[in-house]
Structure formats: C-alpha cells, structure tokens
Structure 1
Amino acid sequence: METARFVSLIAATITMGLVSGLFYGFSVSVMPGLKRTDDRTVIEVMQKINVAILNGWFVLGYIGAFVFTAVAVALHVPDGRRGVLVPLVVALALYIVVMSMTSRVNIPLNNALEKAGPASGIADPAAVRRAFEAPWARANAWRAVLCTVAVGFLAWALVRYGAGS
C-alpha cells in the first residue's frame, strides 16, 4: 500500500506539472505570439492546435492529473496523515476547478472557432477573433495559475509524505 501511495503521489505531481506547463506555455508564448499576427492567422493556427492537441500524450497529462491525484487522495484517506491528505485534497479541488473552466470556457470557445469554418472563408475574421482570443487567453491564464498552485500543493504533499506526516 505504501508503494501505491507514493507512486500515485509522484504520478499526480508529474502529470499536474505537465498540464501546468502546457497552460503556462500558452499564456507566456503561444497567445502573446499570436496576438502579434493578423486575424486569419490566429484563427487558422488555433484551429490547427485544437485538432493537434487531441492526442494520447495530452490525454495522459490532462486526464492523468485528475485520475492520479484522485487515486492519491483515495489511497491516503485510510492512512489518516492529514499533513499529506490536506494538500492532496486542495490540489484535487483546484484541478476540478481547472477542468470545469476548461469544459465551460475553453472547449466551447474552441468549438465555436471550429464552427466558424476555414479562416480563409470567414467574412469577418476580426469578429471571430474578438469572440475567441481574449476570453480564451484569460481562462487559460487562470488555468495556468490554478495548476501551478496545485503543483505546489502536490509538492507540499510529497514533502509531508517524506517526513512521515
């Protein structure tokens, strides 16, 4: 049981770190880079990213962060070490907020962007961009912050686990 607790905690920390890094990367490089381009480029690139990101590696990180953190919580409940359990529960709660934000903001915006059709055929690309870019980037920045804080809580749980509390 100790091995399962430790492995789930490590896997949760790694996968949460991967997702945090993904959201951070978009916040500090992809979206600022796209901000300096024209409307059709933003639409076309984001449409292509939205297709490319749906792959096994993304799913491993995105779903894995939830599954491994939830498993770590479940495995630590019977142990009763509050020093480990409390930061695990906080990390899981933060990630549930991230997943909710993703499903309520980012995914619907991605879907609307896809429904707009090929960038070259959009009559008013500036309007499509306005409807997408700022709300998507704002929600993504929050996802980056919340995931980073969750990684911090998972790191805290690891330290507490190592200390035996």
Structure 2
Amino acid sequence: MNPEHGADPEHGTHPGGAGRSAADRAAGPLLALSTVLIGLMAGLFFAFDVSVMPGLAAGDDRTYVTAMQHINAVIDGNGLFGGVFVLALLATAAAALVEYRKGRRGPAGWAGAAAVAYLAVLVITFAVNIPLNNELADAGDAAKMTGFAVVDKFKGTWVTTNILRTLLCTAALTALTRALLLHGRATAR
C-alpha cells in the first residue's frame, strides 16, 4: 500500500487493522490487560493502606496478629491473586516489548516504565513484606503470645512498604494509561 493512502509500512499499521501482524494486534490487548491487572494490584494495596491496616491498628495486638495471619494465609493460598500478581508484570513487559519491536517508542517507553515500577513492587514484596508475614506466622497462636515485639516491627515496616507499593502501582497504572493513549494514536493512523 502507498503511505499516501493511509498505510504506515514502517510501523506495520494499516487503516482498519487490515494486514497487521499478530504482534501488532496483540499490543493493544496486552496494554489493556496490563492496565487492568496493575489497577487491581493498586486497589488491593490501597485498600490495605486506607482501611485494613488502620482498622487493625485500632484494636489490640492479639486481634491484629490473628487477623493478619488469616489474611496472609488466604492471600498465599489464592491462585487468582497469585495469577494477577505475576501476570501483571509479564503482560506489562510483553506489551513494552511488542510496542518497541513495532517501533512505537512512546508506548514502549511508558509500558517499560510501568514494568520497572511494578518490578519494584515485586522486589519489595519478596524482600520485605513476605519475610514480615512469615515472622508473624511463625509467632504462632496469638492467644498464647506473651510478647508482641514482632507486631511492632510488623506494623512499622509492613505498613510503610505497603504505602510504597501503592505509590509504585499507581505510578505504573498512570504510565500504562499514557501508553494506551499513545498506542491508540499510533494505530489510528
């Protein structure tokens, strides 16, 4: 096709999607999927920031330990959560790669930035939050606990790093929104 008639051979885009490669057709859905998955994670972390953790902090330490042990056990055993948690990074990185390979540097850069921000969330989770969750689980039955030093450590560090995870997910979500907008503009030509 002649570029004067709407085709963009350099980027593989054609009006109406005719003649687009499978990778080109995958970019938009990957960006949309990434945005939804990162949004779900941002919402989960935000809910802990504004309701779960303040609500638990208002009670006594035994209730705090028991509730967090139950919450962590449910999350750890939840395949849907695990899938969203991991797939968010994979889909975002794949979207960035597809956009980059198609020569769409704007969407690729924003999706790449989102992947880096979300990767930081995973690093924080595995380096800080999960070990704290494990310490809390190892403390045993809250009804039999005599000291709550583990709770003080948990409250201070876990809550702070969760706020950081919320901010990083929100940054990733913002970057993906920008990537989607730029992708739409690039493929509408």
TM range (shorter): over 0.9
- RMSD of Structure 2 on Structure 1 (CA): 1.0
Alignment of 1:65-84 (within 5 A): 65-84=88-107
Paired letter, 1:99: L
Is residue 15–residue 60 contact of structure 1 (8 Å, CA) maintained in 2?
Answer: no
Mark the structure with the bigger radius of gyration.
Answer: 2
Residue in structure 2 matched with residue 13 of structure 1 by the alignment: 35
Show the counterpart of 2:177. 155
User: Of residues 134, 153, 177 in structure 2, which corresponds to 1:111?
Assistant: 134
The corresponding residue for 2:70 is 48
Q: How many residues align?
A: 164
- Distance in 2 (CA, whole Å) between partners of 1:3 and 1:37 is 51
Larger CA deviation: 20-29 vs 3-12: 3-12
| Alignment check: 8 A CA contact 1:109 1:132 kept | yes
Distance 1:66 1:13 in 2: 11
Q: Which runs of 5+ in 2 are unaligned?
A: 1-22
Report the 3-state secondary structure (helix = DSSP H, G, I; strand = E; otherwise coil) of the residue aligned with 1:80: coil
CA deviation map 1:60-91 (0-9, x unaligned): 22111111101112212211111101101110
Equivalent of residue 124 in structure 1, options 147, 168, 175: 147
Q: What's the counterpart of residue 57 of structure 1?
A: 80
Whole-Å Cα distance in 2 between the matches of residues 82 and 3 of structure 1?
17
Letter in 2 for 1:108: P
Q: Which amino acid aligns with 1:37?
A: G
Rounded Cα–Cα distance in structure 2 between residues aligned with 1:71 and 1:107: 26
Tell me whether 133-142 or 76-85 shows the greater mean CA deviation: 76-85
> 2-side partners of 1:131 and 1:117: how far apart?
16
Q: Distance in 2 between matches of 1:75 and 1:81?
A: 9
CA distance in structure 2 between the aligned counterparts of 1:68 and 1:109, rounded to whole angstroms: 28
* Structure 1 counterpart SS, 2:33: helix
Identity %: 40
4+ residue segments displaced more than 4 Å: none
Residue ranges of structure 1 left out of the alignment (5+ in a row)? none
Letter in 1 for 2:80: W
Point out which structure has higher relative CO (alpha carbons under 8 A, 6+ apart): 1
